[in-house]
Amino acid sequence: MNSPFSLQDQVAIVTGGASGIGYEIARRLRDAGATIALVDRDPDVFHQAQTLGDRVSAHRFDLSRVDDLHRLATDIADAHGQIDILINNAGIGILEPVGEVQLSSWNSTMLINLTAPFFLAQHCARFMKMRGGGRIINIASQASVVALDEHAAYCASKAGMLGFTRVLAAELGPHGITANAVSPTVVETALGRVYWNGERAAQMKRKIPVRRFAATEEIAAAVLYLSSKEAGIVNGENLMVDGGYSAI
């Protein structure tokens, strides 16, 4: 184990864990001693779980099936005996100018980025209460606090995520469960590079005081801290990991 924080004997769920930020979060938490339940709709989730080694289970699941989220949480609790940490990382970004936003894309964005994370947190919190504590960490975005062109639905969904994070913090805190958000700037992933490339990427980097995008390892490090016992007093916060973008 090579980590400044120990998650020994903890069980962590990571959604959207088959690639990008989610995979790196899962790897970092596993290295800290946690058992990982890797959740993704991509069938590659099984292979990715194997690459992480032991103490990792794979769960192929489409988060749009909100009515089945209770079963997902129950299956993971049954498989591992407990749930201690939930990382709501999975999300989508359908980018359209304000005048061209479609109802279907708006609804899909809200379903995956806002509704599913809330109800998964609701179901997981029941198991955390049995343990006398837990951690819920929602991966939001700098778009939760600033406007980005063509991101109307995305910005709205991530701002909503901050809202319910604070309510979770207030209501679940007395049970020893903390809820926080991590809000990255653009992250260097394959998905991020689909939109943020060429001159668009160069322009965005010029707006970020550190003049670069984030690495997946940097987001995972923030999540690791908030998952740890050392962060037990941090509750209801939104940790900006954006190179200072939202500070100016």
The answer to whether the beta carbons of residues 58 and 45 sit under 8 Å apart is: yes
Which residue spans within 55-166 are E strands per DSSP? 56-60, 85-88, 134-139
Measured torsion, CA atoms of residues 188, 220, 147, 120, in degrees rounded to the nearest 10: 120
Residues, the chain: 248
For 211, the token pair is 């003049």
- The one catalytic residue in 23, 154, 195, 225 is 154
For 135, the token pair is 């951690």
Measured torsion, CA atoms of residues 205, 200, 156, 212, in degrees rounded to the nearest 10: -20
154 is catalytic: yes
What angle do the packed helices 116-131 and 69-80 form, to 10 degrees? 30
Kindly list the catalytic residues.
Answer: 154
